[in-house]
Amino acid sequence: MKNEAKTRPEAVIHPPVDVAEQEHGVTLAMEMPGAKADAISVVVEEDTLTITAPQADRPGGARFLHQETSRGVYRRDFRLSPDLAREGLAADYRLGVLTVHIPKAAHSIPRRIEVATE
């Protein structure tokens, strides 16, 4: 009997993410190896940030003898705090890591109030 590997169906992959807060915003760093930059989607709808990207195709013609890695679509959804702006997001993809910067809303950035004197 021939040993034939079964291919796994495509699945939703929840990639690991680091979330860091700075003075003027929040930065997400998400590992998405194998994604193509032009296929990554970063969408804000109301109070939800959705990030999706299909994994790049593997070289054609390969027959797997053993497969442990998942194939599918990267997807993460984040509920945005009212203290974060819905405009002005910036995204950058390098070396398999997507970095998204979300600025704080103007009302949530601390500001110094000058005290008037006579």
The total domain count for the chain is: 1
**CA 101 – CA 87 distance, rounded (Å):** 11
pLDDT at 106: 86
- In sequence order, what are the residues at sequence separation of 6 or more whose Cβ sits closer than 8 angstroms to the Cβ of residue 37? 93
Please count the CA atoms within 13 angstroms of the CA of 72 that sit on its side-chain side: 14
The first and second tokens of residue 84, run together, are 């974060």
Residue 114 falls inside a structural domain: no
Q: How do residues 27-63 score in pLDDT, each as one tens digit? A: 999 999 989 999 999 999 999 999 999 987 766 777 7
What is the extent of the structural domain holding 101? 16-55+69-108
Q: How do residues 82-113 score in pLDDT, each as one tens digit? A: 999 999 999 999 999 999 999 999 888 778 88
Residue 9 falls inside a structural domain: no
Residue 76 falls inside a structural domain: yes
**CA 75 – CA 12 distance, rounded (Å):** 6
Binned at pLDDT 50, 70 and 90, residue 67 comes out as confident
- The CATH number of the domain holding residue 75 is 2.60.40.790
